[in-house]
Amino acid sequence: MKRIVILISGRGSNLQAIVRRCAAERWPAQVVAVIASRPDAAGLAFATAEGIATAVVDARAHAERAGFDTALAAAIDGWRPDLVVLAGFMRILAAELVQRYAGRMLNMHPSLLPAFPGLHTHRQALAAGCTVAGATVHFVTAALDHGPIVLQGVVPVRPDDDEATLAARVLPLEHRLYPLAVRWAVHDRLRIEGLRVVQLDASPQWFGPADGA
Ligand code: GRF
C-alpha cells in the first residue's frame, strides 16, 4: 500500500475527490494523514469524518519562516509518505523539502501552466483575454507552480465570465484530473524525463470540452 499525505489550506474539495476515488476504485494506497496550514481549514472536518489522521502546522504561529518549514517537514516525514499531494495548499514549501520529495510530490494549479502561476489565476486569465482556461497537475519543483506536467484539462472562457463563474467551471475539472493523476502515481505509471512526464500506458494527458470537461 502506498502511503499518501495530503496538504491543504482550506475547503478541501480536491482532497475529498481524491479520498473518494481512492476508496471507490480500491487503489493500493491509503491517505494516511491530512496536514493543514490553518486550524480553520474546512477540509480537516472531512478528513476526521473519514477516519483520517489530521495535523495542523499553523503558518501564523511561526514568527520565523524557518520554524514553519521545520515543523511542516517533521509533520510530513513522520508519516513516511510515498506520495505528498498538495491540494489547495497555499504556502510555499522550503526548497530542501521539495528536493527530498522530488518525483513524489504533486500539485494542482487552476490554470494552464506555464501560464498564470501564483495567486488570482482566473483573474489573470480573464485580464489576458484568454478564450480557454483550465487546470494542471504537475510534479512540484523549487519553482512556484512549475514542474513536469502530469495532466491538464481545458474549459472554455465565456464572454460574461467573472472570476467566480470561471472558477466554478474549472473546479469540477480539477476533481476529475487530480484523482486520475494521483492514481497514475500510485500505480507507478509516471516517468519524469527532464521537464516532461511520460504516462506509461500512453493514456491522453489532457481533457478537453469534448471529453465532458
Ligand atoms: C483549487 O482551485 C486549487 O486548484 C487551488 O485552490 C483551490 C483549492 O480548492 N490551488 P479545494 O481546497 O481543493 O476545494
48-75 pLDDT per residue, tens:
999 999 999 998 999 899 999 999 999 9
Segment 87-109 shows an average pLDDT of 96
Round the average pLDDT of the chain to a whole number and report it: 95
Say yes or no to pLDDT of 146 above 60: yes
Closest ligand 1 atom, residue 107 Cα: 10
Instruction: Give the sign of the dihedral formed by CA 49, CA 182, CA 69, CA 81.
Output: positive
196 contacts 148 by C-beta, under 8 angstroms: yes
Give the residue whose CA is nearest to atom 9 of ligand 1.
88
88 Cα–ligand 1 center, Å: 4
Closest CA to 178 of 86, 103, 62, 91: 86
pLDDT tens digits for range 19-51: 999 999 999 999 999 999 999 999 999 999 999
pLDDT in tens, 152-163: 999 999 999 999
CB 29 within 8 A of CB 186: yes
- CA nearest to 155, candidates 101, 109, 213, 201: 213
pLDDT (0 to 100) of residue 175: 97
Q: Please choose from 13, 14, 18, 151 the residue to mutate so as to test ligand 1's pocket, defined by most ligand atoms within 8 A of CB.
A: 14
Count CB neighbours of 23 within 10 A.
Answer: 12
The model's confidence at residue 209, banded by pLDDT at 50, 70 and 90, is: confident
Chain length of the chain: 213
What pLDDT was estimated at residue 208?
Answer: 85
- Residue pair 180/173 in contact (Cβ under 8 Å)? The answer is no
> How many other C-beta atoms lie within 10 A of the C-beta of residue 1?
10
Atom of ligand 1 nearest to the CA of 43: 12
Residue whose grid cell is 489522521? 53
Spatial separation of the C-alpha atoms in residues 154 and 213, rounded to whole Å: 7
The answer on pLDDT for 213 being more than 80 is no
Q: For atom 8 of ligand 1, which residue has the closest CA?
A: 88
Please report the pLDDT score of residue 143 as a whole number: 86
Closest listed residue to residue 61, CA positions, set 45, 48, 50, 72: 72
Closest residue (by CA) to atom 14 of ligand 1? 13
Nearest CA to ligand 1 atom 5: 88
Using the mean position of ligand 1's atoms as its centre, give its distance from the Cα of residue 71 in Å. Answer: 23
pLDDT given for residue 210 in this prediction: 64
Please give the C-alpha separations between residue 86 and each of 80, 99, 210, in angstroms, as whole numbers.
Answer: 16, 15, 28
Q: Compute the distance from residue 74 Cα to the ligand 1 centre, in Å.
A: 24
Q: Cα(91)–Cα(27) distance, rounded to whole angstroms?
A: 28
